[in-house]
Amino acid sequence: MPELPEVETIRRVLEEKVVGRKIVKVELRIPKLTATRLHRDLRGQEAVLRTRLTGRRIAAVRRRAKYLVLDLDQGRLIIHLGMTGQIFAAPAGPLPVNGLPLLPDKHTHVVLRLTGPMCVYFRDIRQFGRLRLVSDPEEERLFARLGPEPLGRAFSPQTLRQGFSGKKAPVKALLLNQQVVAGLGNIYADEALFRARIHPQTPGRRITPGQARTLHQAIRQTLSEAIRFRGTTMSDYYDPESRKGGFQDRLQVYGRPGEPCPNCGRPLRKSRIAQRGTHWCAHCQK
């Protein structure tokens, strides 16, 4: 679900609500009979999570690509939201969220009770999300595998060209590869390619230096604007205060197959590249 702009929005909202508070109680809601990977991960860490989180103070909330990091006074908790992961934070007590049954519901896997009293809920319908306590070197190893932050200084047209050079794979697939640039997902990859007027099927090695410059700028502009609008809600993205994003109204191609291209008016297309639905304009993107 969440790509960089959504995770950044979550980070900003969460930061306001949890930094400086202590974790008073850790509630892991792991169904006994399921052994999904999320639950296996949690079960493996269950005792560790409880003992290492309880009593800790949350010092900061960081983001790297699509990962959230809760810095504690001792250690850190890394959270990846997968496709449908959500974080809610609210004063303790049953939490009404967008017409859902009160939280915690059957998809709520972790509840952190904080001083305040404040509650943080981790909810994930498809259970592709991950939650891990990691050491310094583990965090380093994990993040070392990621490419540059698209809004950071290390990301340039040259780094993009490096990621594309010699690659036969379509540029769309390369943009989804987190080693090339870290934080783009399916929505923003399609949006950035449209803004750069580049056909998503173009092999990486055929991207010209000029196109790399345009695409670099398109990626930055798209992500910055999406953060300004607090992310995209297609179906189940909500921020920790259960507010929808605002960028879905500004998408130019994603989720609009058959609708007129905002640039030329011809119907937008949808196909599959790298097993992902890909939206583009056959006339504008070459």
Nearer to DNA, 114 or 268 (CB): 268
Indicate whether 63 belongs to the interface with DNA (CB under 7 A): no
**Angstrom distance (rounded) from CA 58 to CA 73:** 6
Indicate whether 79 belongs to the interface with DNA (CB under 7 A): no
Task: Considering the candidates 3, 6, 8, 191, report the single residue annotated as catalytic.
Answer: 3
**Cis? peptide before 117, omega within 30° of 0:** yes
Instruction: Give the residue from 161, 14, 20 showing the smallest Cα distance to 89.
Output: 14
Nearer to DNA, 153 or 168 (CB): 168
Indicate whether 34 belongs to the interface with DNA (CB under 7 A): yes
Shortest gap between Cβ of 73 and DNA (angstroms)? Answer: 27
Indicate whether 178 belongs to the interface with DNA (CB under 7 A): yes
Out of 77, 231, 261, 285, the only residue in the binding site for DNA (CB under 7 A) is 231
Nearer to DNA, 231 or 240 (CB): 231
- Return the residues of window 240-279 that contact DNA according to CB under 7 A: 245, 274-277
- Return the residues of window 118-177 that contact DNA according to CB under 7 A: 125-128, 167-170, 173-174, 176-177
- Placement of tokens 């699509």 in the chain: 66
Burial state string for 47-61 with b = 16 or more CB within 10 A and e = fewer than 16: eebeebbeebbbeeb
Span of 1-9, 21-29, 56-64, 214-222 interacting with DNA by CB under 7 A: 1-9
Contact string (CB under 7 A) for DNA, positions 202-221, x = contact: --x-----------------
**Angstrom distance (rounded) from CA 45 to CA 31:** 15
Indicate whether 88 belongs to the interface with DNA (CB under 7 A): no
Q: How far is the CA of 160 from the CAs of 78, 98, 145, 146, 201, in angstroms? A: 27, 40, 16, 13, 16
Nearer to DNA, 102 or 264 (CB): 102
Indicate whether 104 belongs to the interface with DNA (CB under 7 A): no
**Angstrom distance (rounded) from CA 34 to CA 39:** 7
Nearer to DNA, 127 or 252 (CB): 127
| Sequence-ordered list of residues with C-beta below 8 angstroms from that of 236, at least 6 positions apart, any chain | 1, 84, 86, 125
Answer yes or no: 276 catalytic.
Answer: yes
Answer yes or no: 2 catalytic.
Answer: yes
Task: Considering the candidates 2, 104, 150, 200, report the single residue annotated as catalytic.
Answer: 2
Nearer to DNA, 118 or 125 (CB): 125
**Cis? peptide before 104, omega within 30° of 0:** yes
Q: How far is CA 233 from the centre of its chain?
A: 12
Answer yes or no: 267 catalytic.
Answer: no
Give the binding site for DNA (CB under 7 A): 1-3, 6, 34-37, 65-66, 80, 82-83, 106-107, 125-128, 167-170, 173-174, 176-178, 185-187, 204, 231-237, 245, 274-277
Query: Catalytic residues, which ones?
Result: 2-3, 66, 276
